[in-house]
Amino acid sequence: MEWKKNEVYETEIIDYTTEGAGVGKINGMAVFVPSTAIGDKADVKLLKVAKNYAYGKIETLHTPSPHRQTVDCPIFDQCGGCTFRHIDYASELAFKQKRVRDTLTRIGGLAADLVQPIVGAAQCDGYRNKAQLPITMDKNGQAVVGFFAPRSHRVIPLTHCHLQMPVFNEALRVFLSWANRYHVMPYDETTHSGILRHLYLRYAEKTDQLMVCVVANAHQLRKDKQLVEMLQQALPCLTTVVLNVNTEKTNVITGKTCHTLYGQGYITDELCGLHFRLSPLSFYQINRTQAEVLYTLAAECADLQPHETLLDLYCGTGTIGLTMAEKVARLIGVEIIPQAVEDARRNAAENHITKAEFICADASAAAAQLQTRGIRPDCVVLDPPRKGCDSALITAVAKMAPQRVVYVSCDPATLARDIRVFADHGYTVKKAVPVDMFPRTTHVECVVLMTKCE
Ligand code: SAH
């Protein structure tokens, strides 16, 4: 059949892509339609046509899917932060479950029954404990904050975001009224002029502590005392206010230098019973409640014994290993970013954990080095970035011959690829548990337990 751009065709949505767009068929060809739901019957206008597939948008929705729900955000279509506000949570979880199951069975060669039911979140909104909002000037000369539209630097202004901690909405309102009252200018990236680049907010849920960080194209902030006063008056949980200096022409949000304007320059949160210090530049899990669920699952898989050695590779600020430390004799963490390693060491000290050591190195290099030093961990936890592990790392881990490998993954595709490499080294998957850390988005985490075949 001939496809024609801008022509309208009738179709039914039967599946989703990994990016969460609906998939329909027109005479056997796939058409991808964002913001649709399985079961939608619609006339779709083709916007981009390739040989075997096309992209389209809904022209007329004849029969809405029973999985649809009312979209409760006015900027859902423009902002790109959420993919799934238009379908119910059960359907979103079904999408994530299927995505993990299909990927692990097709690419990873896993038996489907090893993939357990996804662990959903109790709360789909208000879970993000960190927000980095670009600041810009609107047509009326007022400072606004928002999100960048997908693949662009156009700021979509917002006054309220459902995914964020509710306290952030009040913080951004106060911040903007300060900026507009005292005419502190938003930064303009085309002319590299103006001051205010990003409003960066962090909230420690368990301890009710708020950090407001202003990322500025300046070494000092005019009217900073007034900002602190206004925030203090409106927000009883305000704990610290920080100025982060970023005078570079760059897309990177934060600069290297921070000046504390109020409080101690950091907040402290509690995770799995331990305390973690969060400064503007330190890494912390975005969804604290689900991070506890994820770490608890990882600990169950690890099944640690008091005499054992645990190796936590890609350890970040040490959170996974430290929350398991009381169960083992020795903990070794490996992380490539020096500042994260410093944070991990301090986190260990502040929680009075003396059996932990942290190595600042590439995970593969460190694993190979530990192996030559004769260190034989009983269990290895891996939590790599999206690109997964390289095969040199998997070889080095296999040489250390741990009984159990717990792989915490944020990308099912690279996880599936890595499971195959582990299989070549004699490791079999015992179970895979998908976990929803980021409701309303397409992201899905997964905890996998592999054991060494005897
Ligand atoms: N386990 C931590 C952090 C996981 S994020 C937590 O749960 O909080 C992945 C981490 O891997 C990041 O901190 C990143 O800096 C680190 N990393 C990336 N490449 C690495 C490499 N080649 N070697 C060691 N660490 C690496």
Task: Please tell me the residue having the least CA distance from ligand 1 atom 21.
Answer: 362
Best residue among 314, 360, 391, 446 to mutate for probing ligand 1's pocket (most ligand atoms within 8 Å of CB) is: 314
Q: Which residues contact 111 (CB under 8 A, 6 or more apart)?
A: 105
79 flagged as catalytic: no
Q: 8-68 and 130-278 share one CATH topology?
A: yes
pLDDT at 159: 84
pLDDT at 402: 98
The type of residue at 118 is I
Give the domain ranges of the chain.
Answer: 8-68, 93-122+287-452, 130-278
Please state the φ and ψ torsions of residue 47, each to the nearest 5 degrees. -100, -30
Residue 78, pLDDT above cutoff 90: no
Catalytic residue chosen out of the listed positions 237, 272, 360, 410: 410
Any ligand 1 atom below 6 A from CB of 292? no
Confidence of residue 369 (pLDDT cuts 50, 70, 90): very high
Any ligand 1 atom below 6 A from CB of 334? yes
Q: Which atom of ligand 1 is nearest to the CA of 294?
A: 7
Give residue 451 CA to ligand 1 midpoint distance, Å. Answer: 22
State which fold the 130-278 domain adopts.
OB fold (Dihydrolipoamide Acetyltransferase, E2P) (2.40.50)
Structural tokens at position 453: 């075949």
Strands (E) located in 181-337: 196-204, 209-216, 238-245, 257-262, 267-271, 274-278, 309-313, 330-335
State the pTM of this model.
0.93
Superfamily for domain range 93-122+287-452: Vaccinia Virus protein VP39 (3.40.50.150)
Give residue 453 CA to ligand 1 midpoint distance, Å. Answer: 27
Give residue 386 CA to ligand 1 midpoint distance, Å. Answer: 10
Q: pLDDT tens for residues 370-390?
A: 999 999 999 999 999 999 999
Any ligand 1 atom below 6 A from CB of 326? no
Any ligand 1 atom below 6 A from CB of 320? yes
Residue 151, pLDDT above cutoff 70: yes
Task: Please tell me the residue having the least CA distance from ligand 1 atom 11.
Answer: 314
**CB contact at 8 A, 3 and 29:** yes
Greater model confidence, 209 or 157: 209
Average pLDDT score over residue span 427-441 = 98
Q: pLDDT tens for residues 256-285?
A: 999 999 999 999 999 999 999 999 988 899
Best residue among 312, 319, 336, 408 to mutate for probing ligand 1's pocket (most ligand atoms within 8 Å of CB) is: 336
**Minimum mean pLDDT among 2-6, 84-88, 313-317, 335-339: which range?**
2-6
pLDDT at 453: 86
For residue 371, give the H/E element and its range. helix 363-372
Give residue 150 CA to ligand 1 midpoint distance, Å. Answer: 26
Confidence of residue 144 (pLDDT cuts 50, 70, 90): very high
Task: Please tell me the residue having the least CA distance from ligand 1 atom 12.
Answer: 316
**CATH number of 8-68, picked from 3.30.930.10, 1.25.40.10, 3.40.50.1440, 2.40.50.140:** 2.40.50.140
Q: Could you please report the per-residue DSSP string of 299-358?
A: HHHH---TT-EEEEES-TTSHHHHHHGGGSSEEEEEES-HHHHHHHHHHHHHTT--SEEE
Average pLDDT score over residue span 11-24 = 96
Whole-number mean pLDDT of the chain? 96
pLDDT > 90 in the chain, percent: 92
pLDDT at 80: 82
Average pLDDT score over residue span 432-442 = 98
Average pLDDT score over residue span 354-362 = 97
Assign 281 to helix, strand or coil.
coil
Q: pLDDT tens for residues 205-238?
A: 999 999 999 999 999 999 999 999 999 999 999 9
Give residue 127 CA to ligand 1 midpoint distance, Å. Answer: 22
Residue 2, pLDDT above cutoff 90: no
pLDDT at 1: 64
Average pLDDT score over residue span 282-311 = 97
Residue 3, pLDDT above cutoff 90: no
Assign 240 to helix, strand or coil.
strand
